[in-house]
Amino acid sequence: MEFVFDHLVHFVEEPEKAVQEFQAVGFHAVEGGVHEDRGTYNGLSYFGLSYIEFLGTYDRNLVKNTEHPSFSLISTIIRDEFREGFARFAIRTTNIEGVAQRFKEHGLKVTGPVPLHRKRPDGSVVKWQLLYAGTDEEGPELPFIIQWEAEDDEREKDLIQQKVMADHPNGEALKIASLSFAVKDLKESVRQWSILLNAPVKDAYTDEKLNAQGQAVVIGDVEIIFYEPIGKGIVQHKLESRGEKPFQIVIQGGKEEKSFDLFHGHYIIKQ
């Protein structure tokens, strides 16, 4: 069963402000739309059909007082007390029912598929299904699973027509290369994710700058890198301040190399 990296959710107080600041550092980004009756809205920046979602709330009481599925993105955000930063990410499939069955066979608790939709600023509606799964054990939360109603080529054509997808000033062929997690147990995180997501595993290594041991599982063409601290440093700090969560994203194909922090998420642009 193959998965593709779909999108990273960067939770922010004001998605429109995040879009403006992302544009200011050389990215094409747009306001997305409203998740009606769910209390959230977003901004978007696409890299092919993979993207970064700047998610915020327009009615926090509605978000808090609505019952959310177990292991859902919103339940994560509520548990994090609406702190800004990278929250979760989604992987794409064309067989969401099969994924649900696979997860159940591996002993996971599964919710969904759940049908959802979002109204764009022009009034058009985007539809998809989500699947949530997890366990009560410690460790980084699994990605949630998404299946879009439209086919990939149809979605891409539509996104270009809507001017949601366009070239970035930073580079016309930018793509998401990796997403890094801070974890407590590198070997166990890699073992579980490689099995559950049928993901290839890269060799382990030491990152001296992060003062951590790292190892990646590969989803589509994106590396999900787990880092376990071996002493004081960025990874240790992230674990202590935010827990086992993504903290760094690498985007490949830039005109020049640079890095920056944006709303408690670290972005690296590589050539």
Identify the pLDDT of residue 74.
95
CATH code, 153 = 3.10.180.10
Residue 33 has pLDDT above 90, yes or no: no
Q: How would you classify the pairing of strands 222-229 and 175-182?
A: parallel
In the block, which residue shows the tokens 């959802």?
116
- Work out the mean pLDDT of the chain and round it to a whole number: 95
Q: Beta partners for 54?
A: 10, 43
Q: pLDDT band at 1, cuts 50/70/90?
A: low
Q: pTM for the complete prediction? A: 0.95
Beta carbons within 8 Å of 102's beta carbon, 6+ residues apart: 1, 196
pLDDT digits (tens, 9 = 90+) for 135-162: 988 899 999 999 999 999 999 999 999 9
pLDDT of residue 35: 84
Residue for token digits 């859902």? 72
pLDDT reading at 255 higher than 60: yes
Distance between CA atoms of 19 and 119, rounded to whole angstroms? 18
Exposure string for 204-221, b = 16+ CB within 10 A, e = fewer:
eeebeebbbbbbbbbbee
Residue 24: which pLDDT band, with cuts at 50, 70 and 90? very high
Write the pLDDT tens digit of every residue in 44-97: 999 999 999 999 999 999 999 988 888 999 999 999 999 999 999 999 999 999
The domain of 231 spans 4-270
Residue 45, burial from CB neighbour count under 10 angstroms (0-12, 13-18, 19+): buried
| Residue scoring higher pLDDT (239 or 123) | 239
Tell me the pLDDT tens digit for each residue of 190-206.
Answer: 999 999 999 999 999 99
Residue-wise pLDDT for 224-245, tens only, equals: 999 999 999 999 999 999 999 9
**pLDDT for the residue 37:** 79
Which of 16-30, 34-48, 76-90 has the lowest average pLDDT? 34-48
pLDDT of 225 reads 98
Domain count, the chain: 1
